[in-house]
Chains A and B, each alone.
Chain A
Amino acid sequence: MSSDTYIKRPNRPLQLYAVIFLIALYAPVLFLPLFSFNDSLYVRFPLKEFTFKWYVELFQREPVWNALMNSVRIGVVVAVLSTAMGIFAAKAITRYRIPGRGTLVGFIMLPLVVPLIIFGVALLVLLSQLGVPLSLYTVAIGHMIICLPFSVATLIPRFEGFDRAIEEASADLGENAWWTFWRVTFPMVFPGVVASLMLTFTVSFDEFIMAFFLSGTQPTLPMYIWGQLRFPQEFPSILALASMIIAMSFVLVFLGQWINRGAQPGAVKGHDT
C-alpha cells in the first residue's frame, strides 16, 4: 500500500516550481496588454494614466486594416486547404498499411523542425528562378508548408482514437466508401477538423518568416508590425495591436484544443518512432 502511494503523495517543492514555471511562461507576454493601456509613449514603470487612445488610433489606420485583411484571407485559404489535405493524409496514415509509413510521416513533419529561414530562402530561390512574382499567393504557399504538419499532427490522434469496427459496420450495412466517410468517419473526427482549422489559421495568421521572404508589395499583419518596430513613436500602437492579436490567438487555440480534448495528447508525438 505505502509503495503505491508515494507516487501520489504531493510534492510541494515541485508544485511550487510548476506554478513559477507557468507564471514565467506567461509573464513576458502579459506585459504587452499592460503597457498598451498606459498613457505614455515610453514603455516603463511607473505606469501613467489608463487610456484607450492607442487602440482608437490604431483603428483609424488604413494600412492596419489592409494588412489585417491580407492576413485573414491567407489564413482562411491556408486553413481550409491544409486541413482538407490533412484529413486525407491522417486517414491514410492511420487506416492503411503503408510501407515506410514512419519515414513518410517524418517527411511531412520536417517543416516543424528545419529552420524556417532555410525554407523561406529555398522557396524564394525556386520562385525567382521560375519567374513567379511574389504576392499573397506565394505567402500562402509558404504557410501551407508550415500548416500541413500541424494539421496532420492534430488529426492523427483523432483518427487513431476511434474504433475501426464502426466504419466496417457501416460498410457491411451497405454504405459505400464515400458515404461511410461522410456519415460515419467525418462526424467522428469533426472535433479534430475544427481544431485543425483553428490552429492552422492561427499559425498562418501569426507567421512572420515565410511572409518576410515571400511577400510582394502587400504586407501581412506581422509584416506590418515588423515595419513599424523601427519607429519608437509607434511602440504604444504596436503594443495595442500585439495585445489584440495575442488575445485572439489564445482564444482560438484554446477553443481548438478544448473542442479536440478527446484525442490523447501523447499520440501527437507518436510519429517520432
Chain B
Amino acid sequence: MSDQTLPETEAPGIRQARPGRLTSLLHGSETLRGLSLLSPTLLFMSIMILLPFAILLVMSFWTPVGFEFDTTPTLNNYREAMERPIYGALLERSLRMSGIATVATVILCYPMAYYVAFHVHRNKMMWIVLMTLPFWTSYLLRVFAWKVVLGYEGVINSALISVGVIEKPLEFLLYSQSAVIITLAHAWAAFAILPLYVSLEKIDRSLLEAATDLGDGPVMRFLRVTLPLSLPGVISASLLIFIPTTGDYITPALLGGPDGAMIGNLIQKQFGPINDWPMGATLSIILMLAIAFICAVFILLTLFVRKRIS
C-alpha cells in the first residue's frame, strides 16, 4: 500500500535535487534510500494496521446470520448501540474511570519526574530505569499481583485482620471501580513519568534563576515558569495513559467484577460468548471515535488555556 504511493510522491523532489545524473539518482538520493530502508517496516505496519482497521470498519455495517454474515451494509448496529442504554453506560463509565486514573497518575508521577529531573545529579539513568522497569514486565502478572493484594483474603485484608484493625474483610477492595482505577494508575505510571521527565529536563535552568532574581518565591516560580513549560509533557502523559486505559481488558476482567466492567470487556464478549462480531466491530469503532473526540477536545482546551495565560 505504502510502497506504491510514497516513492511516487518523492519523485519530483529527486529530479529537482540532482538533474541528469543517473548514479546520483541511485546512490545520492537520500529520500529514496531512506524510504527503501524504511519500507519493510512501513509495509508491515500498513498491512497489519490499516487493513485490519478497514475490515473492522466494513464489518461494523454487517449483520450476523447464524455463523455467517449478511454483508448488506446497514446502520443497525450503530442504531442499536445508541438505543440500548447498556452500551452508552459502559462507554461513559470506561471514559470516566480511565479519566480518573489518568489524572491520578499524572498528579502522582509529576513530583517523581520533577525530583529526578531537578534533584538527581548522579546516576539519572539508573533512576529512570528503576522507575520504568516494572512497566516492561507482564501486564497480566502485575494486575494479578493487585488481585493478590486487594483480594477478599488478600494482603491488605489479612494484614489488617491479623493486626486487629478490622474483624471482617473489607469487601469493597476487590471487584470494584476503585480497584480497577488503582491498578490502572499503578500499571501505567511509566507512561506518565517518561514524557513528564523529558519535558522537565528540557527546561532551561537559567529561566528559573531569572524568575528568582526577579523576586519570585519557590511557589510562584513553579507556577509561572516550571509548570507552564512542562505542560507539553503533562499533555502527552495524559494522552498516553488515557487512550490505552479506556479500552483496557485485563484489569476490569480480573479486578472489576460486574461494577467495574468496562467497554473492553463488552467488546471481547461480542467476539467470544455473545458471538456477534459486527456488534463488536461497531463498539470498537465507537470506542475509537469517542477517544479521538475527547483527545481532540482536550488538546484544543489546553491550547486555548495556554494562549490565555501567555
| Any A CB within 8 A of the CB of B70 | no
| Any B CB within 8 A of the CB of A21 | yes
Residues of A50-107 whose CB lies within 8 A of B: 85-86, 88-89, 91-93, 95-99, 104, 107
Smallest distance from the beta carbon of B187 to chain A beta carbons, Å?
A: 9
On chain A, the residues within 8 Å of B280 by CB distance are 121
Residues of A195-229 whose CB lies within 8 A of B: 199, 202-203, 206-209, 212-213, 222, 225-226, 229
Contact with A along B19-41 (1 / 0, CB 8 A): 00000000100110111111011
Contact of A125 with B56 in the complex, beta carbons under 8 Å: yes
Contact of B287 with A99 in the complex, beta carbons under 8 Å: no
Contact of B267 with A121 in the complex, beta carbons under 8 Å: yes
Contact of A7 with B30 in the complex, beta carbons under 8 Å: no
Main secondary structure of the interface of A (DSSP, over half): helix
Residue in A closest to B36 when the chains form the complex, CB atoms = A92
Smallest distance from the beta carbon of A210 to chain B beta carbons, Å?
A: 11
Contact with A along B268-290 (1 / 0, CB 8 A): 10010000010011001001100
Contact of B248 with A115 in the complex, beta carbons under 8 Å: yes
Report the bound CA distance from A199 to B129 in whole Å: 13
Contact of B118 with A208 in the complex, beta carbons under 8 Å: no
Main secondary structure of the interface of B (DSSP, over half): helix
On chain B, the residues within 8 Å of A148 by CB distance are 41, 44-45
Smallest distance from the beta carbon of A111 to chain B beta carbons, Å?
A: 7
Smallest distance from the beta carbon of B291 to chain A beta carbons, Å?
A: 8
Most chain A CB neighbours (cut-off 10 Å) among B10, B125, B145, B248: B145
On chain B, the residues within 8 Å of A98 by CB distance are 31, 34-35, 38
Contact of B189 with A25 in the complex, beta carbons under 8 Å: yes
Contact of B249 with A209 in the complex, beta carbons under 8 Å: yes
Known interface pairs A35-B148, A213-B271, A249-B136. Does A44 touch B153 (Cβ–Cβ under 8 Å)? Answer: yes
| Any B CB within 8 A of the CB of A124 | yes
| Any B CB within 8 A of the CB of A26 | yes
Known interface pairs A4-B209, A144-B44, A272-B195. Does A21 touch B112 (Cβ–Cβ under 8 Å)? Answer: yes
Smallest distance from the beta carbon of B238 to chain A beta carbons, Å?
A: 12
Known interface pairs A97-B30, A115-B264. Does A45 touch B138 (Cβ–Cβ under 8 Å)? Answer: no
Smallest distance from the beta carbon of B28 to chain A beta carbons, Å?
A: 11
Report the bound CA distance from A142 to B284 in whole Å: 17
| Any A CB within 8 A of the CB of B48 | yes
On chain A, the residues within 8 Å of B277 by CB distance are 125
Known interface pairs A25-B134, A113-B243, A249-B138. Does A14 touch B249 (Cβ–Cβ under 8 Å)? Answer: no
| Selected A-B contacts with CB under 8 Å, 10 pairs | A14-B111, A25-B131, A43-B148, A89-B40, A89-B41, A96-B35, A121-B284, A253-B136, A261-B125, A269-B236
Chain B residues at the A interface, C-beta cutoff of 8 Å: 9-10, 13, 27, 30-31, 33-38, 40-42, 44-45, 48-49, 51-53, 55-56, 59, 108, 111-112, 114-116, 118-119, 121, 124-125, 128-131, 133-134, 136-142, 144-146, 148-149, 151, 153-155, 157-159, 161-162, 186, 189, 194-195, 197-198, 201-202, 205, 208-209, 212-213, 232, 236, 239-240, 243-244, 246-250, 254, 264, 267-268, 271, 277, 280-281, 284, 287-288, 291
Chain A residues at the B interface, C-beta cutoff of 8 Å: 3-4, 6-8, 10-11, 14-15, 17-18, 21-22, 24-26, 28-29, 31-32, 35, 42-46, 85-86, 88-89, 91-93, 95-99, 104, 107-108, 110-119, 121-126, 129, 141, 144-145, 148, 152, 177, 199, 202-203, 206-209, 212-213, 222, 225-226, 229, 238-239, 242, 245-246, 249-250, 253-254, 257-258, 261, 265-266, 268-269, 272
